Chains A and B, each alone.
Chain A
Amino acid sequence: MNFSIPGVPHGVAQGETVAVEISTPATRKTALNAVHRQMGAKMVDFNGWDMPLEYPAPGGIIAEHNTVRTRVGIFDVSHMGDIRLEGREALAAVEHISMNAASRLAIGQAQYSALLYPQGTFVDDMIVHRLGEDDYLLVINAGTREKDFEWVREHTRQFDCRVKNLSDDFTQIAIQGPKGVDLLQKLTDVKLSGVKFYWLTRGTVCGLKDVLITRTGYTAEDGFEIYVPGDEKTSAMVWDKVLQAGKEFACMPCGLGARNTLRLEGKLPLYGHEITDTINVWEAGLDRFCKMEKPEFLGRAALEEAKAAGLKRTLVGLEMVDRGIARDGYKVLDERGGEIGWVTSGSYAPFLKKNIALAYVPPQFRDPGSTVNVEIRGQAVKARVVPTPFYQRPKKA
């Protein structure tokens, strides 16, 4: 037996593939690292971070995934980066670097967006939170923390606002799933029913005052993320209290394995896979988060040109028809065996119980029902283009 983790060729940057591999010496750790190890989590190197992939039985990726879909699971996502922009021209600064319209945010509201290169491709994706009148928090990816911070600082110099890297200040815990609201409500005085999806508030959590609580996540479920002080003692105390409070809901700690399959079922993009420095916004299908009615933002001019030129490739959802799992980097072939694209993410989908994938293909293959092949260990294996997202959470009655 010999493990191999699917590669990512075709000019796609090596991204956040959660791989079974040995940690590098310069490994970074969250404040909860010792807690994960004590719980017996299988740890992996994730873009230089020593993170839990999955927890022991009754956990495991499939059980953790389905717990989030049906009840509630908790994740240590402290490796995510946080950049705060504050000051008189903070809004103008965010508007310049973000493709979405921060001007539409009320205080206490958040939105999905991205930092773009002038060529309309991705520096990173992010969630923009409006904390106060002239106060914004960008939550960015772990593997791109330094690059993003430098990018933001460099491109906001002309604005009267302070840019601070708060990435090491918080332990960020995600409480995800339909029972997430009931779990967190046991630990806070904030009335969570009043916080809508993609809104945020501050309140006491586990006895800690003024904790940032956002109704956001990366699982395609309802859920919250809380930002508590990043020291080990406080972090462990909160993690433990959340798990204890979750007992009545059969809550599980969840690792990056389930985080990846959950986001894939919901077609939430992952930097280095669906979005890279060579993929533009239209190709990634993120049109509705990109506000071309804004007169100016980094990448806008190139995107206007790209729109006029037309799409050369587009992101589609695939469901395997024949036996096989399409993995990141595998080639997509037409029916005659010609190479037409590549798989960006692919896995067994634990809740849907199907083998699914996301792939870039020419636009003529985009319609649901189109048939393509994925090359798996030298064999062409049939797949069908299907509507996305693969999974959508049920609407509340």
Chain B
Amino acid sequence: MAYPSDLKYTKEHEWVKADGKNAAIGITHHAQELLGDIVFVDLPKVGAEIAAGKVFGSVESVKAVSDVYAPISGTVTEVNSELTSAPEKINQDAHSAWMVKIAIKNPTELNSLLSAADYEKFVAEEDGH
């Protein structure tokens, strides 16, 4: 899997796509692969504050329940409500199925995230052990 280089990644398998003052957040292709068929997504409301490293939502597959952590802090400006009725979109294309869009609080938080190359390496190591 080639991970898009315009996204930043976390070791908890979230991605963030920053665009100036705003960012979209989702879970990675590797995450959806680990989960299997995704059947439920729980997302915050518009206006909610999310904090880097803290849980902001959850994703459930048929078999597993998973918390989703915020890669960076911010205020939720948009929620992808399409995922509520069609959570399988995450399985189909994890890197375009964004979960929330936020107004970025502290852009320097982006610097501590992984690049596509680093994330790919991390996933390969995790698989290998």
Q: State whether A348 touches B34 (Cβ < 8 A).
A: no
Smallest CB separation, B123 vs chain A (Å):
12
Q: State whether A257 touches B12 (Cβ < 8 A).
A: no
Give Cα A325 to B59, complex, Å.
Answer: 11
- From A1, A53, A347, A377, B69 is in contact (CB under 8 Å) with A1
Q: Which residues of B contact A257 (CB under 8 A)?
A: 36, 62-63
Q: State whether B60 touches A325 (Cβ < 8 A).
A: yes
Chain A residues 122 to 157 lying within 8 A of chain B, measured CB to CB, are none
Q: B66: CB under 8 A from chain A?
A: yes
- From B14, B36, B42, B63, A1 is in contact (CB under 8 Å) with B14
Q: Which residues of A contact B62 (CB under 8 A)?
A: 61-62, 257, 261, 347-348, 350
Q: State whether B67 touches A4 (Cβ < 8 A).
A: yes
Q: A106: CB under 8 A from chain B?
A: no
- How many residue pairs, one in A and one in B, have C-beta atoms under 8 Å apart? 73
Most buried by A among B27, B60, B84: B60
Q: State whether A1 touches B40 (Cβ < 8 A).
A: no
Q: State whether B39 touches A1 (Cβ < 8 A).
A: no
Residues of A within 8 A of B (CB): 1-6, 18-20, 42, 53-54, 60-62, 257, 260-261, 323-325, 327, 347-348, 350, 355, 377
Give Cα A84 to B55, complex, Å.
Answer: 52
Give Cα A140 to B68, complex, Å.
Answer: 39
The residue on A at minimum CB distance from B87 is A348
Residues of B within 8 A of A (CB): 12-14, 27, 31, 34-37, 39-40, 42, 58-69, 84
Main SS class of interface, B: strand
Besides the known contacts A42-B36, A257-B62, 8 further A-B residue pairs in the complex with CB atoms under 8 A apart: A19-B64, A20-B34, A20-B64, A257-B36, A323-B84, A324-B40, A348-B39, A348-B60
Q: State whether A5 touches B65 (Cβ < 8 A).
A: yes
The residue on A at minimum CB distance from B41 is A323
- From A4, A62, A324, A377, B37 is in contact (CB under 8 Å) with A62
Q: State whether B65 touches A3 (Cβ < 8 A).
A: yes
The residue on B at minimum CB distance from A355 is B40
Most buried by A among B27, B39, B40: B39
Q: Which residues of B contact A1 (CB under 8 A)?
A: 12-14, 27, 31, 59, 66-69
Q: State whether A61 touches B63 (Cβ < 8 A).
A: yes
Q: Which residues of A contact B67 (CB under 8 A)?
A: 1-2, 4
Give Cα A377 to B55, complex, Å.
Answer: 12
Give Cα A348 to B42, complex, Å.
Answer: 14
Q: State whether B63 touches A2 (Cβ < 8 A).
A: no
Q: State whether B65 touches A327 (Cβ < 8 A).
A: yes
Q: State whether A53 touches B12 (Cβ < 8 A).
A: no
Q: State whether A2 touches B40 (Cβ < 8 A).
A: no
Given the contacts A20-B34, A325-B60, A377-B58, A3 and B39 also touching, CB distance less than 8 Å: no
Q: State whether A60 touches B36 (Cβ < 8 A).
A: yes
The residue on A at minimum CB distance from B39 is A348
Q: State whether A61 touches B66 (Cβ < 8 A).
A: no
Q: Which residues of B contact A6 (CB under 8 A)?
A: 65
Q: Which residues of B contact A18 (CB under 8 A)?
A: 63
Q: State whether A2 touches B66 (Cβ < 8 A).
A: yes
Smallest CB separation, B8 vs chain A (Å):
15
Give Cα A54 to B59, complex, Å.
Answer: 19
20 CB contacts below 8 A, A to B, read A1-B13, A2-B67, A4-B66, A5-B64, A20-B34, A20-B63, A53-B36, A53-B63, A60-B36, A61-B36, A61-B62, A62-B62, A260-B63, A324-B40, A327-B65, A348-B40, A348-B60, A355-B40, A377-B42, A377-B58
Most buried by A among B27, B59, B61: B61
